[in-house]
Amino acid sequence: MSLPLKHKKKRLWSIHAMMLLTAALVSTSFTVSKAIADGMNPAVLTLLRFVIAALLLMPYIHYKYGLHLPEKKRLFGYACISFTLTGFFWLMFLSMRSTTALNTGVIFTLVPSISGLYSAVLLKERLGKYRLIAMIPAILGATWVLFRGSPAELLAFNLNSGDLIFFGSCLL
């Protein structure tokens, strides 16, 4: 049974609104991270980020699902997911000590392409021509901004250590 057109339009609008909200939160994340990265240890910042998120989300999770300890057989999977997230944020805060918020934002735009490549290689997922067509200008645009539109800088490949650290975090 499909939804009436009115409900489909409303649902589509809310999906786009959530995507814009996510983009706004992520984009301000780099600016805020840059402002505080020099003042605190990256591990402490990462811990604070996750403690605050847990405290903010706990009432909703309790209401929707209840609070209970996970089954032991699921702990390894949760640990793997947690490692990638905490690793990403720890490396992001570390990288902010030697790069700019702009560079991290630009590098972060590569994440969907990296995810697509991971899906193709690890999960044997077929990307399809439209995804590949979308990935190419995204990669080229990010590269253009990172190297300030200069072919000479691209050929010299002068990225700072923070850029490389953050790119490594995006690979997690």
Mean predicted confidence (pLDDT) in 8-20:
79
The answer to whether residue 20 is domain-embedded is no
The answer to whether residue 10 is domain-embedded is no
Would you state the pLDDT for residue 79? 94
The answer to whether residue 63 is domain-embedded is yes
Residue given tokens 């980020």 in the structure block: 49
Mean predicted confidence (pLDDT) in 71-87:
93
The answer to whether residue 113 is domain-embedded is yes
The answer to whether residue 2 is domain-embedded is no
Please tell me the distance from the alpha carbon of residue 128 to that of residue 172, in angstroms, as a whole number.
24
The answer to whether residue 145 is domain-embedded is yes
Would you state the pLDDT for residue 48? 94
The DSSP letter of residue 2 is: P
What is the domain count for the chain? 1
Backbone angles phi, psi at 142, to 5 degrees: -65, -40
Does residue 58 have a pLDDT over 90? yes
- Assign residue 149 a region: left if phi > 0, alpha if psi is -120 to 50, beta otherwise? left
Would you state the pLDDT for residue 3? 55
Q: Between these two residues, 171 and 14, which has the higher pLDDT value? A: 171
Does residue 62 have a pLDDT over 90? yes
Does residue 112 have a pLDDT over 60? yes
Q: 117-171 pLDDT, tens per residue?
A: 888 899 988 888 888 888 888 888 888 887 778 888 777 767 899 999 999 999 9
The answer to whether residue 1 is domain-embedded is no
In Å, the largest CA–CA distance within the chain is 58
Are 166 and 107 within 8 A, CB to CB? Answer: yes
**pLDDT confidence band for 95 (50 / 70 / 90):** very high
Nearest-5° angle of CA 124, CA 15, CA 80? 45
- Which domain covers residue 84, as residue numbers? 25-171
The answer to whether residue 70 is domain-embedded is yes
Does residue 21 have a pLDDT over 70? yes
Would you state the pLDDT for residue 87? 96
